[in-house]
Amino acid sequence: MTKPIYVLNGPNLNLLGSREPQVYGSETLEDVRARCERKAAKLGFAIDFRQSNHEGELVAWIQEAKEKATGLIVNAGAFTHSSIAMLDALLASELPCVEVHLSNIFRRESFRHNSYISKGAKGVICGFGPLGYELAIEALAASLEPKKAL
Ligand code: DQA
């Protein structure tokens, strides 16, 4: 059995659907999970989809991923702009990671323009809402199994 792709979501993403819908849209995190499961299944991957409001828990999950996952998709929420600890965990994991943001962080406040996570990511997808998660799964799948790439 191939190991799953861990899809990790940071703080406040549990509020999707009701949180600033003009910025983040109307889909809930459960809707996003369903999209990810469908997309991954089509490409022959399993996912393990999680959310936490706690930086330490996210760090622990990234550490766990080193042994248990084949790759990572991370929307670190506001920790994107502050968490050297999450970056260090990503670098230590040596796993391919795609960073995702629902919103285009570069069209927003300047404090959102810097991502600590990006240095540990293969690539970044932002601004496409929940579709970004599906694009990230496709990109990760293509880098894990280039022969199967679309
Ligand atoms: C976000 C962007 C972050 O700046 C913000 O703090 C979030 C969500 C996004 O998905 O657009 O919580 O990561």
Tell which one of 80, 100, 108, 128 to mutate to probe ligand 1, the residue whose CB is within 8 A of the most ligand atoms: 80
Question: From the alpha carbon of 24, which atom of ligand 1 is closest?
Answer: 11
Structure tokens at 147: 């022969």
Q: Which residues are catalytic?
A: 24, 101
Determine the pLDDT at residue 149. Answer: 56
In the numeric block, which tokens belong to residue 23? 């910025």
pLDDT of 146: 72
- Confidence (pLDDT) at 147: 65
Task: Specify the CATH superfamily of domain 5-148.
Answer: Dehydroquinase, class II (3.40.50.9100)
Pocket residues: Cβ below 6 A from ligand 1: 12, 75, 77-78, 80, 101-103, 105, 112
Mean pLDDT, the chain, whole residue set: 96
With 90 as the cut, is the pLDDT of residue 112 above it? Answer: yes
Distance 113 CA to ligand 1 centre (A): 11
CA–CA separation, 137 vs 109, rounded Å? 27
Per-domain boundaries in the chain: 5-148
pLDDT in tens, 19-65: 999 999 999 999 999 999 999 999 999 999 999 999 999 999 999 99
Cα 1 to Cα 20: distance, rounded to the nearest angstrom: 39
| Per-residue pLDDT tens digits for 81-102 | 999 999 999 999 999 999 999 9
Helix, strand or coil for residue 135?
A: helix
Nearest alpha-carbon partner for 16 in 108, 102, 80? 102
> Which residue of 103, 109, 114 sits with most ligand 1 atoms within 8 Å of its CB, as the best mutation to test the pocket?
103
Q: Whose CA is nearest to atom 9 of ligand 1?
A: 101
In angstroms, the CA 132 to CA 22 distance is 17
Q: Which residues contact 54 (CB under 8 A, 6 or more apart)?
A: 11
Q: Quote the strand ranges of the chain, DSSP E.
A: 5-9, 47-51, 71-75, 97-101, 123-126
pLDDT of residue 106: 97
As to burial, measured by CB atoms within 10 angstroms (0-12 exposed, 13-18 middle, 19+ buried), residue 49 is buried
Confidence of residue 2 (pLDDT cuts 50, 70, 90): confident
